[in-house]
């Protein structure tokens, strides 16, 4: 995508083009121009006076000339240092629908229609000031005018249904939708569709400063802007990024402070959660304030849970800095900590306001952490099907060496998860449960190692292999095409190339202990554990196993791992 340097807002009188445009320009750091106000300045007369003395045709000629002067007078992209990088232009209600205007505007940047129903427009135009608008008469006339223009308005690049929304919410929707068709400050946007709780996933090639700018843009567009931002990070990320991140955030109209926790899975505990909450509460937060999770999966889970329970819920922005967090854990609203009885057993669903991913921050990852995150990418490939799996097989070594160069895979994984979360946010219909492929075995492996022997991704890799093996042992796996390895063999080869472990025999030899941990899995119901088993790439099944049968199944898998 190319970056836009113009943003055009169109719609009926009363739709909020000026108010939303000013808010969008402020959030973007762009200049704002109201076309009607520019015409009045040039003519030295009000729009109503021009209509009265010259007629609508003459006004439209003035309008077109003013528009063309604006478009040709603004410096082309890229701007000179110190110049505003772009312009938000609020059009007159009739500008966009004139012959040739839409094409002219689109040649310079995206066009956005703010769609407001007639009855709401009438309410907005009921003030005495609205009486001076030349085409405002009464409700019937307004509805007829909208009916004539509506189809033309709908040809805009984006339509935002602004009915009942405050200007900040409309502005946030405009920026979010804009990011899906045109790179915004170097970031493209995906969207997690959850109705009024929908949120963007911003993915860009930049680094920490660009990530902070996008966080500020997102929060600056809100009607109820926070007065405080609380950055939660760990003692590995903090020396690398925290100072620059905070300095850039402090350019906004809020106070910024931070809480730093120890790196690693040990921080996902109730004790550490209590310490974080104490540190945050000492700063007297309000419900408008925002927790910003800057780090990997542990930080995202911990900070997200703190945001979920503090003051019964404050807003959250996820800024993931690892492959694993970017492709998986930062999206979807799962937050929580571990318990003595198992992993992630204490937590809450708490969707973020936004997720901001700066791929440049992956350059400082240790190689083992890169590989760990790629295990989740393989999981998504198994869920999605052959094309993505073959893509990974085609560039495995490059993924480990240069994770920041593969934003397309990050976006594909996020798109898969966004789709599943929109369909089954709280794991009630079954589709989101499939995202736990490899995790029932994997969580048990993590617990057996004391949450330190293997990383989460390494455990997921072993767990995914065991799920594929279980599918074969139980007779569910589909026979491969001629000349192709069975899925288990393909996954083992791929995990080796991604520098991930592929031999779970040591854990399987402790089958009863492993079965005990699997019984604590969140997907266990009564005397059954539901395993997610891949039949083939793109085809997984939910397979219930009685808990008393788990040791026997693990013995079968152990024999399989030894070539039996």
d(CA 148, CA 135): 13
Count the neighbouring beta carbons within 10 Å of the beta carbon of residue 550.
22
23, 108, 315, 432: the active-site residue: 432
Please confirm, yes or no, whether 339 is among the known catalytic residues.
no
Long-range CB contact pairs, 38-43, < 8 A, 24+: 38/66, 38/70, 39/63, 39/66, 39/92, 42/66
Within 321-391, strands assigned E span: 334-339, 342-349, 354-358
Marked catalytic residue, from 129, 282, 312, 428 = 312
**What does the alpha-carbon distance between residue 438 and residue 297 come to, in Å, rounded to a whole number?**
17
SS3 letters for 155-180?
Answer: CCCEEEECCCCCHHHHHHHHHHHHHH
**Separation between Cα atoms, residue 437 and residue 416, nearest integer Å:** 14
CA 247 to chain centre: 23
- 334 as an active site residue: the answer is yes
Among 376, 446, 458, 488, the active-site one is 376
Of 189, 123, 171, nearest to 418 (Cα)? Answer: 189
Q: Does the active-site annotation cover 439?
A: yes
Q: Are 98 and 66 in contact (CB under 8 A)?
A: no
Q: Is 522 a catalytic residue?
A: no
Give SS3 for 486.
Answer: coil
Q: Give every CB contact of residue 53 below 8 A, 6+ residues apart in sequence.
A: 45
432 is a catalytic site residue: yes
- Listed residue (275, 335, 345) closest to 303, CA to CA: 335
**Is residue 450 classed as helix, strand or coil in its secondary structure?**
coil
- 417 belongs to the catalytic site: yes
DSSP string, 79-143: PPTTS-S-EEEEPPTTTTTSTTHHHHHHTTS-EEEEE--HHHHHHHTTSGGGGG-TT---HHHHH
Catalytic entry in 149, 412, 443, 523: 443
Cis, peptide link before residue 78, omega less than 30° from 0? yes
The answer to whether 321 and 296 have CB atoms below 8 angstroms apart is: yes
Q: Which of the residues 63, 177, 436, 522 is marked catalytic? A: 436
For residue 9, CA distances in Å to 72, 409, 418, 435 come to 18, 33, 28, 39
147 CB-near residues (< 8 Å, 6+ apart): none
Residue among 23, 185, 417, 523 flagged as catalytic:
417
Of the residues 412, 439, 469, 490, which is catalytic? 439
Active site residue 376: yes
Which residue is catalytic, options 38, 315, 456, 522?
A: 456
Alpha helices, H only, 424-524: 439-448, 456-473, 487-497, 505-508, 511-519
Write out the two tokens for 273. 């959660």
Q: What are the backbone dihedrals phi and psi of residue 166, each rounded to the nearest 5 degrees, phi first?
A: -70, 155
Query: In degrees, to the nearest 5, what angle opens at C-alpha 237 toward C-alphas 233 and 243?
Result: 80
Which amino acids are annotated catalytic? 312, 334, 376, 417, 427, 432, 436, 439, 443, 456
């Amino acid at each position: 995508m190319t970056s836009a340097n113009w943003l055009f807002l169109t719609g009926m009188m009363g739709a909020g083009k000026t108010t939303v445009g000013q808010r969008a320009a402020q959030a973007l750091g762009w200049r704002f121009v109201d076309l009607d106000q520019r015409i009045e300045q040039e003519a030295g007369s009000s729009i109503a006076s021009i209509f009265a003395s010259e007629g609508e045709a003459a006004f439209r000629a003035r309008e077109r000339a003013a528009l063309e002067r604006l478009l040709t007078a603004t410096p082309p992209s890229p701007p000179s240092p110190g110049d505003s990088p772009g312009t938000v232009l609020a059009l007159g209600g009739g500008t966009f629908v004139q012959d040739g205007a839409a094409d002219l505007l689109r040649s310079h940047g995206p066009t956005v229609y703010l769609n407001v129903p007639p009855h709401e427009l009438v309410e907005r135009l009921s003030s005495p000031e609205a009486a001076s608008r030349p085409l405002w008469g009464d409700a019937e006339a307004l509805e007829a005018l909208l009916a004539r223009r509506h189809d033309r308005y709908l040809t805009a690049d984006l339509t935002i249904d602004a009915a009942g929304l405050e200007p900040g919410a409309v502005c946030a929707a405009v920026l979010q939708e804009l990011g899906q068709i045109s790179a915004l400050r170097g970031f493209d946007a995906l969207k997690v569709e959850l109705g009024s709780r929908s949120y963007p996933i911003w993915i860009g090639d930049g680094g920490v400063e660009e990530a902070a700018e996008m966080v500020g843009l997102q929060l600056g567009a809100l009607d109820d802007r926070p007065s405080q931002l609380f950055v939660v990070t760990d003692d590995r990320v903090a020396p690398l990024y925290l100072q620059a991140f905070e300095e850039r955030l402090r350019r906004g109209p809020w106070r910024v402070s931070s809480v730093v926790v120890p790196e690693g899975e040990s921080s996902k505990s109730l004790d550490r959660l209590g310490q974080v909450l104490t540190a945050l509460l000492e700063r007297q937060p309000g419900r408008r304030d925002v927790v910003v999770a800057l780090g990997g999966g542990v930080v995202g889970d911990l900070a997200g849970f703190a945001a979920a329970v503090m003051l019964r819920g404050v807003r959250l922005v996820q800024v993931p800095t690892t492959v694993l967090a970017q492709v998986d854990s930062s999206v979807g609203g799962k937050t929580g900590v571990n318990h003595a009885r198992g992993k992630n057993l204490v937590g809450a669903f708490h969707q973020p306001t936004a997720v901001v991913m700066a791929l440049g921050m992956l350059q400082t990852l240790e190689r083992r952490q890169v590989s760990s995150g790629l295990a989740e990418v393989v999981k998504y490939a198994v869920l999605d099907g052959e094309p993505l799996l073959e893509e990974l097989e085609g560039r495995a070594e490059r993924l480990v060496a240069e994770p920041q160069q593969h934003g397309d895979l990050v976006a594909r994984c996020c798109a898969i998860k966004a789709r599943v979360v929109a369909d089954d946010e709280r794991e009630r219909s079954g589709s989101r449960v499939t995202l736990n492929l490899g995790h029932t075995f994997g969580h048990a492996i993590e617990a057996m190692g004391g949450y330190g022997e293997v990383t989460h991704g390494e455990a997921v890799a072993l767990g995914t292999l065991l799920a594929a093996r279980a599918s074969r042992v139980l007779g569910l796996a589909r026979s491969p095409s001629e000349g192709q390895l069975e899925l288990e063999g393909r996954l083992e080869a791929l995990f080796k190339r991604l520098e991930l472990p592929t031999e779970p025999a040591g854990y399987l030899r402790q089958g009863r202990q492993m079965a005990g941990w699997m019984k604590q899995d969140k997907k266990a119901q009564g005397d059954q554990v539901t395993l997610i088993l891949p039949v083939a790439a793109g085809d997984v099944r939910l397979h219930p196993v009685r808990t008393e049968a788990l040791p026997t199944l693990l013995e079968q898998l152990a024999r399989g791992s030894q070539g039996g």
